[in-house]
Amino acid sequence: MNRDTNKVAIVTGASRGIGAAIAERLAADGFTVVINYAGGAADAETLVAKIEAAGGKAIPAQADVSDANAVARMFDAAQAAFGGVDVLVNNAGIMKVARLAECDDALFDSQVAVNLKGSFNTLREASRRLREGGRIINLSSSVVGLYHPNYAVYAATKAGVEAMTHVLAKELRGRNITVNAVAPGPTATALFLDANTPESIERLTKLAPLERLGRPEDIAAAVAFLSGPDGAWINGQVLRANGGII
C-alpha cells in the first residue's frame, strides 16, 4: 500500500486527534512525516512507532507553534534529517468557547497565539523553504460560515487562517506550490468532546444530513487528496469536510 514519494511532510499537532490521523494517512501514502507536538511526547513517540511498524517513516518534533524560533528550528531539523520539506499541514489548534461577553483575555490571547500566530509562524517558514511542487494545507473550521454563538474568538482565528490561505496561494505564484484549507465540522476528538456538554454533542451529531460526527480519518482523507497527485489543480480553496452541515 506504501507509495514511496520521497516527499517530506510536516504535520503540526500530530500527537493525537485529527493531526495523528493525517500523519498516519500521509505515511501510508508514502510521505516521510514529521510528527510535531507541544506537550504530548509519549503520544508522538507511540505514533512514530505505529507508523514505522506499518512500514512508514516518521520522526517526532517538539515545537510550540506559537514560538517562531521553535518553528524555525523544527524546519531546520526536518531539512537536516531529510534534505527538504514538501508539505506543511497546519493542524495544531486549540478551541475555547464562551459567549463573547464572558471571554477573558487569556481565552482570546491563547487562541490567537496558537491558531493564528502559530499558523503564521509555520506558513512563513514554509513559504521560504518548501521545495518546488510543494503543498500547504491549513486546518480551518466550518464555524467560519456557521458562526454559532460562543465561537466568536475561535471563528475569528480560523477566518484569519482562511485569509492567509487565499493570500499565500497568490504569493507563491511561480513555484508550483498550492495552498488550501480544510474546514472540518464537528469531529470526534478531545478538542470537540471536551468543549461540549452531552446535550450539545447529541445536537451537533444530528446537524449533518449524514447524521454522525466526523471522524479524524474523514478529515485525513481530504488532506491526503490535497497533498497528493489528485489535488494538484486545487489552489487557494477552502474545502469544508463536514457531512453537509454548511
Q: Choose between 6 and 69: whose C-beta lies nearer to ligand NDP.
A: 69
Choices 7-15, 26-34, 126-134, 224-232 (CB under 6 A): range interacting with ligand NDP: 7-15
Cα 189–Cα 156–Cα 91 angle in degrees, nearest 5: 40
- Establish if 19 lies at the interface with ligand NDP (CB under 6 A): yes
Choices 13-21, 77-85, 164-172, 230-238 (CB under 6 A): range interacting with ligand NDP: 13-21
Looking at residues 25 to 44 of the shown chain, list those that interact with ligand NDP (rule: CB under 6 A). 36-40
String of contacts with ligand NDP for each residue 167-206, x by CB under 6 A: -----------------x-xx-xxxx--------------
As beta bridge partners, residue 187 has: 214
**Sign of the CA dihedral 154, 159, 161, 162?**
positive
Select which of 37, 147, 151, 154 is catalytic.
154
CA separation for the pair 57, 144 (Å, rounded): 34
CB 176 within 8 A of CB 232: no
Q: Is 147 a catalytic residue?
A: no
Residues 6 or more apart whose Cβ sits within 8 Å of residue 113? 66
- Establish if 60 lies at the interface with ligand NDP (CB under 6 A): no
- Establish if 13 lies at the interface with ligand NDP (CB under 6 A): yes
Q: What is the largest CA-CA distance in the chain?
A: 51
- Per CB under 6 A, the list member of 32, 141, 227, 235 interacting with ligand NDP is 141
Residue ranges of alpha helices (H) inside 54-91 are: 68-82
Cα 65–Cα 232–Cα 91 angle in degrees, nearest 5: 20
Cα 12–Cα 227–Cα 13 angle in degrees, nearest 5: 10
- Establish if 117 lies at the interface with ligand NDP (CB under 6 A): no
Active site residues: 154
Return residues touching ligand NDP (CB under 6 A).
Answer: 12-19, 36-40, 64-66, 91-95, 114, 118, 139, 141, 184, 186-187, 189-192
